[in-house]
Amino acid sequence: MTQFTTPARHRSKAAAAWLACLLGVFGAHWWYVGRPRAWLFTAFSVAMLVLAQFYPVWWDNPAFLLLIVPVTEGYIEALVFALKPDEWFDAKYNPGSGRVNRTGWNAVLAAIATTFFGGTVLVFGIALIVMHVYTAMGWLDGYVY
């Protein structure tokens, strides 16, 4: 009797890096690499975006500012995926697939894009958080622009 087995799904390291860079706030890379409880990551981000709509200024409220956490996680993981060796990624996410990653320039471009785009978004996010806290604490009262 012959037993049939389905080969393990092969995941691309570069695709995981690009998903983490571009859609990391929603955990797209978690879904792609098959992490358990990826739905919690996505649900948190969606819930924060929905809650942000109930404030008069959607971008200046705690729910929206909490999105800096999944955004940061996405950018960090994009760099990890892009810069770790192919062998590391294959051992962790492609055991038994029978194929290996050979990323080349695609992963390098993902790392470069993540560094520039991620750095800009994170600095802007930190600035928004600082301005929100300073305003909420009244530290800017009486300040003339």
Domain ranges of the chain: 13-137
- Rounded to whole angstroms, the Cα distance separating 65 from 57 reads 12
Q: Give the mean model confidence (pLDDT) for residues 31-53.
A: 95
pLDDT at 48 over 90: yes
Q: Which of 10, 5, 8, 45 has its CA nearest to residue 26?
A: 45
In the chain, the percentage of residues whose pLDDT exceeds 70 is 94
Q: 13: Cβ–Cβ under 8 A, 6 or more apart, which residues? A: 81, 82, 84, 86, 89, 90, 101, 103, 107
Which pTM value belongs to this model? 0.86
Q: Which residue has the tokens 């750095």?
A: 119
